[in-house]
Amino acid sequence: MLANVYKLLFLIIIFKSTICVASEGEVCIPRQLKYHTKPDNSAHPTLHTYNYMSKLVCALECSEEPFCTAFSFTEQSRVCKTYGIDIEDLDSQRYEIGTNLYLWSQRCGHLPSVPNASPPTVQSSNGYPAGKRVGYSCVEGAHMVGNGESLCLSNGTWFMSSVKCVFVKTCHEADMLGINISPPIAIRPIDNGAVAYVICERRQDGVYTVIGHNLANRTHITGHETDFSGVFPIEYTVPLELAIGVADISAECEQFIKFECLRSGAHYNSFRTRTGEQADYFAGGVKGQGDNNCACKINNACIGQEICNCNADVGEWKDDTGYNQYKEDLPITAFLGGDTGGSDEEAKITIGSLKCKG
């Protein structure tokens, strides 16, 4: 019984300290603002409506609602309404309340720090009223998950759940977090490493991180007779270590190769892996067999029972096409051309972007 009395006294003290702006004896003079606007139901900030209450209980209901910044109470109908509004917006007459509005006087202090995020450069020296929303921005390369707004609650603390800035390592991760993957987007594939901008490609089987390079266009090759003597370095749109980082953390990677040939054997052409080593397989071939084989060998579909179509010297344009999918070798760092020194020998090479999923 005594505990209930103390609780009631405490609630009365809270009511007077938060609702009253002055007291005359036992009479509370409430902080209030009366205004009228055009009806606009879509703009109503009402949180809850309660019936058959007293003003004191109405105030207590508001104090227990974390997003309540004001309440109204109509004596005749004994209807209590609680509101979650930015008190500084009252002068803009956005809300249709049409009765006395009682405001909390407690204010929020300095904006809290958030990892990878920055509050406004200029902050209020007098604090912020309940209901005030303040937007944060992310540091370069980080993405906002949420609306980026902090909210001053009626108890003088900041509600920060909508402010979260994160770095993502791949397009797949960004998509899983609901981040817009329209190109280009920032990723950071290596922890505490540099930020890079990449293209995201959505397919039926998932979202791919796409990294382009300088040799993406079809390149004509002539004048390199010695095996693998024509070296064509590949420079990616991001630093090589970041492209390798994307491949390492992804579930699958691929890189397209199309080698078109006129009397230029595929076994005289090759590519370098991420480590600079010469690969022992070619366009879509099988690694580890040591014969520079191509994709057509897998199904024994090569011309003349060769291991690549271009090894069959048929005197007309042919091609070997496939996807290199050994991600431990990707990205490709150079194309090595040969057997194009004769006047009737030439080749064309197309190497696709590095594409990684997951």
The alpha-helical segments, DSSP class H, found in 120-188 are: 171-176
Residue 68: predicted pLDDT: 79
What pLDDT was estimated at residue 70?
Answer: 77
Question: What's the pLDDT score for residue 11?
Answer: 41
290: helix, strand or coil: coil
Domains of the chain (ranges, CATH numbers): 28-105 (3.50.4), 210-357 (2.60.120.1000)
Three-state DSSP class for residue 286 = coil
- 108-159 pLDDT per residue, tens: 888 999 999 998 888 887 788 777 889 999 999 999 999 999 988 877 889 9
Residues 170 and 209 sit within 8 Å (Cβ to Cβ) = yes
In tens, the pLDDT along 61-107 reads 877 777 777 788 888 888 888 887 766 555 433 334 445 677 665 77
What letter represents residue 170's amino acid? T
The tokens of 228 are what?
A: 């693998």
pLDDT at 92: 37
pTM, whole model, 2 decimals?
A: 0.73
Residue-wise pLDDT for 263-274, tens only, equals 999 999 999 999
Query: What is the reported pLDDT for 67?
Result: 77
Distances (CA, A) of 296 to 169, 244, 260, 269, 356: 35, 28, 14, 16, 24
Q: Give mean pLDDT, residues 43-52.
A: 75
